[in-house]
Structure formats: structure tokens, C-alpha cells
Structure 1
Amino acid sequence: MVGGVESGRREQLVLAAFRRVAEAGFEGLRLRQVAEDVGIDHSTLHHHFATKQDLVLAVAEYATRQFWVLGDGPPDPARALREHLAGLRRMLDERPELFVVTVELDLRARRDPAVDDALRRHEAGWREVLSDVLTAGNAAGAWAAPLDVAVTTELVIATAKGVRLAPAAAGPVFAQLEAMVIGDRGEQP
């Protein structure tokens, strides 16, 4: 049971740090406040995360994993991509704090090689899932034209990252992306 408690406490700390970053950015992330949010002593936090950087890296992992929404999508590639883009739109509406935190992480990654490395590693899962769907769509002729899978994967990710700064535009932006990639070929009956 101790391992479960330890794992649960670690998750609580990551979520508390995530909320702090969403509210005040990394400049407002204080380990003492995170510990207080979880109801533990500041020194106990260090049993789970030796440094603030370790906690930041755990927040990066948690935030980026939220985007792996295509993993068990439908077998039809056009439908899978459509559902992925719809899922991103829903996330923007329902979890705006996730996008605030990912903006903060992207900005920090420009100055912090460890965060940059962590984001690249964790976003690799998102890229892999998108790449698999886009590759399957090429094989099935599901797209308006054959796609350069690597470029289109980056286009989808760049679009998702771009609309974080203008969430009100997400619906039309994702609709345009969907129309460009799928065209009339992937229309649902």
C-alpha cells in the first residue's frame, strides 16, 4: 500500500504544480505552496521530487500526455483525424488551463534544455499517433491528396499549439485544417 500512497502523493503534487503554473506561470511556481496545496510539509515534497526542475519535468510529462487522444481511435483514418481535431477543440473549451500550461512549457523549453528534451520525448507519443493515422490514410486514399506524413504531423501539432493563443478561433481553424487534409473524400454519411 505504501507504493500506492507514494504514487498517489506524487500525482497530487504534479496536479498541484500544474494548477499553480496555470494560475501564475512558472514565475509563480513555489514548492512550499505546492506542498501546502497537497497538505504536506515542504521537506516531504523532496521525497518525491528532489528538485523543482524534477517537478517541472513531471508537469511537462503530465501536460503532453493529455494530447495522446488518438491512441484507440476508430480504424477509419479520416474519422480518426476528424475525431482528434474535435477532441482538441473540446479540450480548448473544457480545459483551457492545459493550454496555458503548455504555452508556459514551450516558452520555458526555449531557455531550458532539460524541459526542451522532456517536451520532445513526451510529444513523441503524440507525433507517433498522428503519424500512424496519417500513414494509414495515405494507404487508404483517405486524404484529398497524398500527404507528406512528417510535415502534416507537424502542421496538426503547430495548429493545435497556435490556437492556444486564440482559442476563440479554434473551431474555424481546425475546420479549415480538416478540409485541407481530408477534403471531400472523408465525408461522413
Structure 2
Amino acid sequence: MVDGKSTRREQLVAAAFGLVAEVGLEGLRLRRVADAVGIDQSTLHYHVATKAELVEAVAQHAAALLATTAPPRHLPPHEALAAHLDALAGLIATRPELFTVTAELDLRARRDPSVRAVVDRQEAGWREVLVGLHAALDGDDDPAARAELVIAAVKGVRLVPDLAPTVLGRLVEQTTGATR
């Protein structure tokens, strides 16, 4: 932020994020992004050189929003995991467009190596945190598999946001033994 206002690049990323949520990555056009911010396309290229760079910036923006759900470090592992999944369920309910964008990125990543690299980079930290939490839980004999279970559940439930609290709550019960 500059002087309390978004920078032009931040405005472009926010506009692209909104367009991806609305029309998907396949419908993302640089001209529409420029128009949404009130500049011409040649000016857009001053701030974002390529569409691929803009897609990467959208992925980073989504990751920053998701980072707000990071498990609190001061809590015991089972409480931290529960807090993380509760925060994700809340974010799915309040920011469904975020999960539309992440689903779009995941789909594109299956056929676009550059997007795959961005998604992999963004998920690596999440996976590491989840493995660490599961490794600290008593009786968890396969923390990596449990971390993948959490990731798969979150990615699946983002497609049916109304079920997020129930599904992620059950996941907390099953992975930590805590009753909700």
C-alpha cells in the first residue's frame, strides 16, 4: 500500500482475482483487467509484463488470504489443527470467491507447468505445517498421509461451501480425537 491506497499493481491483481472468480482462468483477458482498473492495456504491461505473471500474482494473493488461517503456534497441536480447520471453514463461508479462484488454479495446474509450479510453491508451506502438526499428535503414525487427507478434504469441500463446517469439524474429530 502506498499512502493508504492500493498500488496500481495491487489493483490489477485484485481485478484479475475478481475476474478469475467470475469467469475462470480461461476467461481472464488482460484487456478486461485493464478496463476494470481504468487503464489501457499498454499501461497494464508496465505493471505486469505477461498474463502468466498476473496469474502468478493472483495465486500469491490467494495464498496470502489463505495464510490468515494458519494454525496458531501457541496452541497444542490438536487445538491448533482445530483452529486452522475452523478458520478455513469460516473463510469458505465468507470468501467463496477465494476458493473458486484456488479451484481454477488447481485445474489449470494439471495442464500448465508454470501454474503447477506456482501452486506447488504455495502449497509446500501448508503441507509442511500440517505434517508438523500431525507429527506432534499422539498416535499419528503417518503424518504425511494425514496432512494429505486435510488438504484433500479442504479442496473437496470448497466446491460445496455449505458443508464446510460439518465436514471440516468431522475431520478435526477424526484426526485429533477431539469431540466437537
Q: TM-score, normalised by structure 1?
A: 0.85
Bigger drift between 7-16 and 77-86 goes to 7-16
Contact between 2:89 and 2:164, CA under 8 Å: does it hold in 1? yes
Paired AA for residue 31 in structure 1: L
Alpha-carbon distance in 1 for matches of 2:26, 2:114: 17
Matched, 1:99 2:99: yes
Count of matched residue pairs: 177
Contact between 1:13 and 1:38, CA under 8 Å: does it hold in 2? yes
4+ residue stretches of structure 1 with deviation over 6 A? none
Contact between 2:71 and 2:83, CA under 8 Å: does it hold in 1? no
Q: Secondary structure at the match of 1:75?
A: coil
Contact between 2:109 and 2:115, CA under 8 Å: does it hold in 1? yes
Paired AA for residue 34 in structure 1: V
Report the equivalent of 2:177: 183
1:128 Cα offset (Å) = 2.1
Unaligned regions of 5+ residues in structure 2, if any?
none
Contact between 1:108 and 1:115, CA under 8 Å: does it hold in 2? yes
Contact between 1:64 and 1:119, CA under 8 Å: does it hold in 2? no
Report the equivalent of 2:51: 52
Matched, 1:90 2:84: no
Alpha-carbon distance in 2 for matches of 1:71, 1:164: 19
Over the matched positions of the two proteins, sequence identity in percent amounts to 51
Report the equivalent of 1:26: 25
Matched, 1:166 2:160: yes
**Of residues 146, 151, 156 in structure 2, which corresponds to 1:157?**
151
1:124 Cα offset (Å) = 1.1
Could you say what the CA RMSD is over the residues aligned between the two structures, in angstroms? 2.0
Matched, 1:17 2:16: yes
Contact between 1:65 and 1:122, CA under 8 Å: does it hold in 2? no
Unaligned regions of 5+ residues in structure 1, if any?
none
Matches within 5 A, 1:107-186: 107-135=107-135, 137-138=136-137, 141=138, 145-184=139-178
Q: TM-score, normalised by structure 2?
A: 0.89
Alpha-carbon distance in 1 for matches of 2:51, 2:43: 13
